[in-house]
Amino acid sequence: MSFYPRSFLRLVVLGNVMVALPLLIAVGYASLAADDLAGRGQEAVQQASRAAMLGQALPEDIVRMERILRQYEVLHDASLLGEYEAAHGEWLREVDEWAAIPLLAALAPRIGELRAAEVAAHQALGPRAEGLAQAKASLGEIRRAAVLLHGDASRLVDAERETFRLQAQQLRQRLGLAILAALAVTGAFLLYGRGLVKRLWSRFERAVLALGEGRLERSIRLKGPEDMQRVGRRLEWLRRRMVALEDERTRVLRHVSHELKTPLAALREGASLLSEGVAGPLTPQQTKIAGIMQLNAIRLQELIDGLLRMQQASFTRDKMEIAAVRLDEIVEQTLATYQLAARDRLVRISDSLVPVTVEGGSEALATLANNLISNAIKFSPDGGTVNVILRRTDSDAVLDVTDEGPGIAVDERSHVFEPFFRGSAGKHVAGVGLGLAIAHEFALAHRGRLEIVEREHGAHFRARLPLAGQPA
């Protein structure tokens, strides 16, 4: 699902809306904040008025209850007890309402204690006023406590007024900060819009560069407005056309290579027969010429095979059959293949292989391991040591191959994986300069990489391949 508009024009319009949006939000915030403060101010005024009225009425009601009890003490009129009950019920309603005012939440425990004391005094009085003296004494203490609570409630109301004044001042400050923030966000949206357009065009640029550099393995899909997506579909058509042409070129190359192999095999066989004297004895000079012919025929054969392998490596990503492969077994088989060649030159091979499974083509992985190990043996001096270490990390299989040869010059490292490149230190070693380039292509085909690790003496190549089960 695309969240981009249909064209760049609409993208620009949307950008203008996004730029104006923070300022509109700031204005809306100011309006809402002012309304909220006004509403809370009105509510605070109502609570303060109600708290003051009830705070003043509670001690007065206690005084009234005390007066009723004194009258009953003198007159013993049972109707006075009824008046006391009515005054008691009214006082309880008022004290409950007083305690429920949010503004006096801090005094709620003390108000509860005051209420409990009055209820206890009422219970102590009894239905026939047998606890009259105790009730009168308790009501006196309750009245004094109610007066103190009224004073504390007045101080809370004053504190709330001061808080409201400070909140109004803070609101003015917040509104100023909101305006500054809106301007900052507007600037951020401008920068983001600029970055978005830059990213859209950089994707287009990368796609064109990939086509120009011949990196055709990934499909082209441009995100963005519909007009840019249309351009992306045209570029994808062009990529597929280039892939088809490259496949045709590969087919022609293979055909030509196959046609070359037949006469080349005849040349090699003829040179071999001449060298062996099948056609008659040769002079020393003729023997030398026949040897030169045979060596160059072999070199030409290696070059043709290398070109074919290089072409195969370039398109392995889309062609090879993927399966779970034990890389340690492939490396172990490769080492066994080169034991004899290493022994002839007294080259010692030290290996440490942990079981590890990757996903890929067994032949491609065998070629990768073969090229790295054969390259290390080839460049190692007689009596040297080649170290082969296979380990695993959380997501990769890591194959390290080191030798004690001449190593790679710093200024040549960026060219090591180029086809037909041969470093200055390896001019005396036979080869056509395709082994590392092929290994590099096969590593990329398996979503991995082949890299040179800096080493003081000799060369150190490290291949990283994703473990089986890793997301593509």
Residue 2 pLDDT more than 60? Answer: no
Categorise residue 62: left if φ over 0, alpha if ψ from -120 to 50, beta otherwise: alpha
Range from 301-310, 338-347, 462-471 carrying the lowest mean pLDDT: 301-310
**pLDDT given for residue 354 in this prediction:** 92
**pLDDT given for residue 390 in this prediction:** 93
- What is the distance between the alpha carbons of residues 372 and 110, in angstroms, rounded to a whole number? 86
Q: What percent of the chain has pLDDT over 70?
A: 77
The two structure tokens encoding residue 2:
């695309």
Greater confidence (426 vs 60) lies with 60
Token match 């590392």: residue?
Answer: 436
Residue 328 pLDDT more than 70? Answer: yes
The two structure tokens encoding residue 212:
């120009």
Angle at which helices 8-75 and 78-99 cross, to 10°: 160
How large is the average pLDDT for residues 75-87? 82
Contact 68, 87 (CB under 8 A): yes
**pLDDT given for residue 1 in this prediction:** 43
Three-class SS of residue 376?
helix
- What is the distance between the alpha carbons of residues 174 and 392, in angstroms, rounded to a whole number? 56
Say if residue 340 is exposed, middle or buried (CB neighbours under 10 Å; 0-12, 13-18, 19+): exposed
- What is the distance between the alpha carbons of residues 81 and 89, in angstroms, rounded to a whole number? 12
**pLDDT given for residue 94 in this prediction:** 84
How large is the average pLDDT for residues 23-29? 70
Residue 156, amino acid:
L
The two structure tokens encoding residue 310:
């290089």
Greater confidence (337 vs 107) lies with 337
Neighbours of 294 (CB within 10 A): 19
How large is the average pLDDT for residues 278-292? 74
- What is the distance between the alpha carbons of residues 244 and 2, in angstroms, rounded to a whole number? 30
Contact 286, 275 (CB under 8 A): no
DSSP letter for 220, please. Answer: P
- What is the distance between the alpha carbons of residues 154 and 160, in angstroms, rounded to a whole number? 10
The two structure tokens encoding residue 291:
């040897």
The two structure tokens encoding residue 411:
């200024």
Residue 316 pLDDT more than 50? Answer: yes
How large is the average pLDDT for residues 19-28? 69
Q: What percent of the chain has pLDDT over 90?
A: 7
**pLDDT given for residue 399 in this prediction:** 93
How large is the average pLDDT for residues 382-397? 90
Residue 467 binned pLDDT confidence (cut-offs 50, 70, 90): confident
Contact 104, 98 (CB under 8 A): yes
Element (H, E) at 19: helix 8-75
How large is the average pLDDT for residues 149-167? 78
Strands 385-392 and 449-452: unpaired
- What is the distance between the alpha carbons of residues 123 and 117, in angstroms, rounded to a whole number? 10
Contact 462, 400 (CB under 8 A): yes
**pLDDT given for residue 464 in this prediction:** 92
Greater confidence (357 vs 123) lies with 357
The two structure tokens encoding residue 136:
């009168």
Question: What does the mean pLDDT of the chain come to?
Answer: 77
The two structure tokens encoding residue 373:
């190990």
Contact 353, 331 (CB under 8 A): yes
Name, in order, each residue with C-beta under 8 angstroms of 426's C-beta and a sequence gap of 6 or more: 379, 406
- As a whole number of Å, the CA-based R_g of the chain is 47
φ, ψ for residue 416 (rounded to 5)? -60, -35
Three-class SS of residue 303?
helix
How large is the average pLDDT for residues 327-342? 88
- What is the distance between the alpha carbons of residues 99 and 464, in angstroms, rounded to a whole number? 73
Q: What is the DSSP string of 237-277?
A: HHHHHHHHHHHHHHHHHHHHHHHHHHHHHHHHHHHHHHHTT
Greater confidence (31 vs 63) lies with 63
**pLDDT given for residue 457 in this prediction:** 82
- What is the distance between the alpha carbons of residues 303 and 81, in angstroms, rounded to a whole number? 123
DSSP letter for 4, please. Answer: S
For 400-457, the pLDDT digits (tens) are: 999 988 888 888 887 887 777 776 666 566 666 777 888 888 888 888 888 988 887 8
Residue 8 pLDDT more than 60? Answer: no
Q: Where are the alpha helices (DSSP H) in 126-225?
A: 132-213
Three-class SS of residue 279?
coil
Greater confidence (266 vs 356) lies with 356
How large is the average pLDDT for residues 186-215? 73
Neighbours of 472 (CB within 10 A): 5
Q: Where are the alpha helices (DSSP H) in 322-406?
A: 327-344, 362-379
**pLDDT given for residue 250 in this prediction:** 66
Strands 396-402 and 460-466: antiparallel
